[in-house]
Amino acid sequence: MMQNNVPLLEVSGLTKRFGGLVAVRDIGFTMRGGEILGLIGPNGSGKSTVMKLVMGVERPDAGSVKLAGTEIAGWPTHRIAREGVGIVFQHSRPLHRQTVLENIKLALLPDSLFRLAAEPHVEQRAREIAERVGLGAVLHRRPPTLPFADLRRLEMAKALARNPKVVLVDEPFAGLTPTEVADFSRLIDGFREAGHAVMLVDHNVKSVAALVDRVLAMYLGQRIAEGTADEVMRNETVRRVYIGGAIEAHPRKELDAKGGEALLEVRAIDVFYGKARALQEVSLHVNAGEFVSVVGLNGAGKTTLFNAISGLVPFNGDIHWAGDSLRNRTPARIAREGIVQCPETRELFGELSVRENLDLGGQHLTRPDREAQLAWLLDLFPILNERQGQPAATLSGGEQQMLAIARALMMRPRLLVLDEPTLGLAPVILEQLSKALGRLRETTPITVLLGEQNVTFALPHADRVYVLEHARIVWEGDPVRFAAEMGTGYL
């Protein structure tokens, strides 16, 4: 290991605002040659923004980024790349009409307008790199014909070609099989052996624990913990962010008695994104009137599951709704038949007012029905009552989430699908949201399917719980049993 004492990358006071939202606040860390740092945090924690700030894709509002002593904060991306920072993107976007070899050669070309032909050594070097990442057999194939793992290998090859001092890897293992994970771990280890500094950006500690020397955990744009993977996993704040505080559970036993009246039945579905497997033989059911939670870390497949139910992504297998198959039905028809999804991205109409957003949700209702539904919702979420005339984009994160749920409820769903409503919300807001869900459950016969990473939020109202891990359902049961059986192994 070379250069072990000179920090290759020194970041301090890094801050980035998007409008009123502080995406990254005062983040600092140091990386030395031959070291692997894990940067983890749930969706919306700001980890991706940190990566973009280091790469120069976004300009920091404050702070310093030093590469081997040179200040690079605020430089354009191509200069930062030439100075020695490389990135392996999660989603590869290779040139589709060029071969694998040509794609690697691209990364070896100088940034010149006048060098019309590549120098002879480029071809040789590209072949060597291809061999090293395991693309030797597919040199002359074109990317659209390659399996997912090979596309990731190609991204890795392009990063290797630039011989960067610091390599940023975004979600290194997402969508890979265990064998492929082992291959990629070896490649990343190879960076370390060569004296590069590597940053692995991921949702959770678990997936990168075996590889990293240190982990930096982020939440709401701030650093919440730093240390070895073990230390971070045991850290109280980290556990609270990922799992929440003490787990409460109040399943309604009387629903069990009614069992068998399945409203929604998902039967062994598989979903692929291109070549990446997002869901594998997932089966679950939701009975009428039940509140079912699907818990799992980011990237486990929750959103994909909900999108399959809503008809937004194609799937193999079958999904039954009130006895009929949902195959070949359009998303609009599925929504009209009563399955209403409240997506994690919220999808509000930012320039329309709170009231207009709600009215849009109630378009298909008759006027008196709409008025009644609106009155009930404004009572359920009093804050929306005060904010009726305000454009949705000006609401706080928590208020926007309540509006998104209220708008979904305006459609009078038979099944409300809530995808990660806690995304990026502060703990106080979670409590308000949780109370509203509690009232919803107590006062209406509504059926709810909730997807959550935050277990403390997902469990108190749940009658039944599924755990989704790496595209598969690994546990099913009652929330009281969850605390005993799954509580410790979840992170």
Beta bridge partners of 483: none
Rounded distance, CA 47 to CA 299, Å?
Answer: 15
Of how many residues is the chain composed?
A: 491
Shortest distance in whole angstroms from residue 94 CB to another protein: 9
User: Which residue's CB is nearer to another protein, number 110 or number 245?
Assistant: 110
- Of 234, 212, 446, the closest CA to residue 342 belongs to 446
The nearer residue to another protein, 145 or 316, going by C-beta atoms, is 145
Whose Cβ is closer to another protein: residue 196's or residue 464's?
196
Packing angle between helix 100-108 and helix 120-133, nearest 10 degrees? 120
We find the least distance from the C-beta atom of residue 22 to another protein, in angstroms, to be: 23
Nearest to another protein of 114, 366 (CB atom) = 114
Q: How far is the CB of 154 from another protein (least distance, A)?
A: 12
For residue 110, the minimal CB distance to another protein (Å) is 8
Least distance between another protein and beta carbon 445 (Å): 46
Output 56 or 451, the one with its CB closest to another protein: 56
Return the number of the residue (64 or 77) whose C-beta is nearest another protein.
77
255 neighbors 418 (Cβ within 8 angstroms): no
- Residues lying near another protein in the complex (CB under 8 A) are found at 55-57, 76-78, 81-82, 86-87, 89, 93, 95, 97-98, 102, 105-107, 109, 111-118, 141-142, 145, 158, 162
- CA distances (Å), origin 320, targets 78, 155, 304, 341, 360: 51, 39, 17, 16, 28
- What residues contact 209, with CB distance under 8 A and at least 6 apart? 38, 215, 229, 230, 233
- From the CB of 77, what's the least distance to another protein, in Å? 4
Q: What is the CB-side half-sphere exposure of residue 228 using CA atoms within 13 A?
A: 3
Q: Residue 113 or residue 257: which is nearer to another protein going by CB?
A: 113
Contact criterion met (CB below 8 Å) for 319 and 327:
yes
Q: How far is the CB of 103 from another protein (least distance, A)?
A: 9
- Nearest CB to another protein, comparing residues 86 and 460: 86
Specify the residue, 84 or 244, whose C-beta has the smaller distance to another protein. Answer: 84
Which residue lies nearer to another protein by CB, 155 or 452? 155
CA 402/CA 409 separation, integer angstroms: 10
Minimum CB–partner distance for residue 169 and another protein (Å): 12
The dihedral sign for the CA sequence 113, 115, 121, 123: positive
CB of 104 to another protein, least distance (A): 11
CB of 128 to another protein, least distance (A): 18
Residue 89 vs 272, nearer CB to another protein: 89
CB of residue 47 vs another protein: minimum separation in angstroms? 17
